[in-house]
Structure 1
Amino acid sequence: MRELRNLDLNLLKAFDVLMDEKSVSKAAQRLSVTQPAMSGILQRLRDSFNDPLFVRVQRGIVPTNRALELRQPIKQLLQSAEQLLQPKIFDPQTAELTLTIACTDYALRAVISPFLAVLKQRAPKIKVAILAINEQNLQSQLEQGVVDFGLVTPDFSAPDIHSKDLYQEQYVCALRKDHPVAQQGSISLEQFCRLEQALVSYQGGSFSGATDKALAKLGLTRNVTVSVQNFIVMPEFLANSDLLAVVPKRLVENLANIHYFEPPLQIDGFTKTLVWHERTHRDPAYRWLRELMAEVC
């Protein structure tokens, strides 16, 4: 039994040309080889298929019955091989795939929500799965295909990971729209420290964060009485209390019942970064999705 590994697939192209031209010399011209080289190729074809394949006649060559049987299967095989070499064409309107994104609840509101609104218009058949991010596991999740995109801060890095900064975020003071302080427009640092406040502690249970580090440099502290583990509930807490919170601007900037303003001290913001693995880096679908997310942000 003959095995595929013993067949030079380049011979199939030569066979196809010989079938078209019915001439060894014309086939040699099309393949840019000498006539003796073409004769050698024909002999290798005969050896591979254990058949003469082409018989000399007065004007050129004619195919044997075996060659006629092989013509269509070989042509289809060559066409399939050609298609494999062509770049994948991505059409957002018809594309069907599932995109998995790992992110925080803040990024869910600030990035994913506006991203989905545009995505559903431009690529209606793409599904999106959102996972809670765990940066300790993110590298392996990206490698294994469990996650396609991660939304992180720039200090995340790992081998074979690509990244793109989406935007620079700033912190603002936020409280309910009808809070007495909302009418002032701004507050003093002394008043800021005195007001009852809430903060987000992702690890849970902490009453100190980036704002407190900035205050500590000034020898000051603030009155934090509520600590929660996620940002999503914070606007609701603020809307139903006299609490103030220092939060990322994109979390509250479009909420009708929340008033926000600049803090009375300098608090370092952060950059939101999109990361992905080398395995999807050149895929046209995932490249389009990355570009769309950057556009939305």
Structure 2
Amino acid sequence: MANIKNLDLNLLRVFDTLMDEKNVSRAAEKLSVSQPAVSGMLTRLRHSLNDQLFIRSQHGIVPTIRAQALSGPIKKLLRELDAVLEPTVFIPHEAELTLSIAATDYSLNAIVEPFLQALRQQAPKMKVAVRWINEHELFEQMERGTIDFALTTPEAAPDELHSRTLFNETYVCVLRNEHPLLENKSLTLDQFCNVEHAIVSYVGGAFEGTTDTVLRSLGRQRRVVLSVPSFLSLASILKNSDLCAVVPKRIMKNMHDLTTVKLPFEVPGFTKIVAWHERSHDSEAHRWVRELLSATCKEI
């Protein structure tokens, strides 16, 4: 009795072609192999299935009763195997995937919000789960499949991940619309240092950042009186106080009742990337999502 564990599936393709062509030479040509190679594979098939399968005739070969009985099931099996191995065609409008994205509140505002607007239009059945990013556990989470995409910076992304640059961000100074310092539509370095500031600290409680490092190099210092863990809370505070803040320019797009002023000195910006694991690198669906993320970031 034939054992599927010991049967070379390539032999089934030869059997199916011989059934179609009823001729060894034509079968060899169709399979792009030599006639002796087909004859050798037929010998192996006969041994595996314990039947002659094909009998020589004046016009080629004639299938045995056993071969005729096997023909339909084998052709069906080969069709199903081809369907399984055929690359999946990704159709955004029909896709019902759930994406998991790791992000900060800045990335949620500057990247995820515009991305979701485009996603709802092009792939309305897809779902998105946003999680706060944990850079210490990010690689492990991606390896397990808990996170599909991470919106982070090149410095924070594990070296083992793939990544793509989304944009380069810059900083601006922000005050409420009716702030007394806006009379001249600009800030001097003295005004900037003398006004009270609020700062965002994801780690919690920090009263210094990149801006303060630059000021120290200029021999100056600002007055940071408030530290909050979120840009979302910072916006509300700025609207209702005379505090000033240095924030990434992109999130100002969704902040109302606030005015942007150019900084009186240069503060280095940062690069935002999308990172992903090797396990999803060749996925057509994930490749499409990465392209959409990139496209929506360029539009802002």
TM-score normalised per structure 1: 0.94
| CA positional deviation for 1:40 | 2.6
Separation of aligned partners in 1, 2:246 and 2:37: 78
Separation of aligned partners in 2, 1:211 and 1:36: 77
**Residue 235 of structure 1 contacts residue 252 of structure 1 at CA under 8 Å; is this kept in 2?**
no
Q: How does 1:39-54 map to 2 (within 5 A)?
A: 39-54=39-54
Instruction: Please tell me the residue identity of whatever aligns with 2:100.
Output: T
Instruction: Structure 1: state its 5+ residue gaps.
Output: none
**Residue 280 of structure 1 contacts residue 286 of structure 1 at CA under 8 Å; is this kept in 2?**
yes
Separation of aligned partners in 2, 1:168 and 1:179: 29
Matched, 1:264 2:264: yes
Separation of aligned partners in 1, 2:182 and 2:188: 13
Q: How does 1:29-68 map to 2 (within 5 A)?
A: 29-68=29-68
Separation of aligned partners in 1, 2:109 and 2:196: 25
**Residue 175 of structure 2 contacts residue 259 of structure 2 at CA under 8 Å; is this kept in 1?**
yes
**Residue 165 of structure 2 contacts residue 273 of structure 2 at CA under 8 Å; is this kept in 1?**
yes
SS at match of 1:173: strand
| CA positional deviation for 1:199 | 0.4
Aligned to 2:189: 189
Aligned to 2:89: 89
Question: Residues 167 and 33 (structure 1 numbering): CA distance in 2 closer, same or farther, change over 3 Å?
Answer: closer
| CA positional deviation for 1:66 | 2.2
TM-score normalised per structure 2: 0.93
- Count of residue pairs the alignment pairs up: 297
**Residue 171 of structure 1 contacts residue 249 of structure 1 at CA under 8 Å; is this kept in 2?**
yes
Separation of aligned partners in 2, 1:276 and 1:102: 10
Separation of aligned partners in 1, 2:165 and 2:33: 52
Cα deviation per residue 1:6-40 (whole Å; 9 max; x = unaligned)? 11111101110111122233323333444444333
Separation of aligned partners in 2, 1:107 and 1:164: 15
Aligned to 1:167: 167
Aligned to 2:223: 223
| CA positional deviation for 1:139 | 1.1
| CA positional deviation for 1:159 | 4.4
Separation of aligned partners in 2, 1:3 and 1:182: 84
Q: How does 1:48-197 map to 2 (within 5 A)?
A: 48-197=48-197
| CA positional deviation for 1:94 | 0.9
Separation of aligned partners in 2, 1:209 and 1:160: 28
Instruction: Structure 2: state its 5+ residue gaps.
Output: none
Question: Residues 15 and 205 (structure 1 numbering): CA distance in 2 closer, same or farther, change over 3 Å?
Answer: same
Separation of aligned partners in 1, 2:270 and 2:290: 20
**Residue 171 of structure 1 contacts residue 248 of structure 1 at CA under 8 Å; is this kept in 2?**
yes
| CA positional deviation for 1:137 | 0.6
Question: Residues 137 and 3 (structure 1 numbering): CA distance in 2 closer, same or farther, change over 3 Å?
Answer: same
Aligned to 2:214: 214
- Indicate the percent of aligned positions where both proteins have the same amino acid: 52
| CA positional deviation for 1:144 | 1.6
| CA positional deviation for 1:126 | 1.2
Question: Residues 205 and 284 (structure 1 numbering): CA distance in 2 closer, same or farther, change over 3 Å?
Answer: same
| CA positional deviation for 1:57 | 4.0
Aligned to 1:282: 282
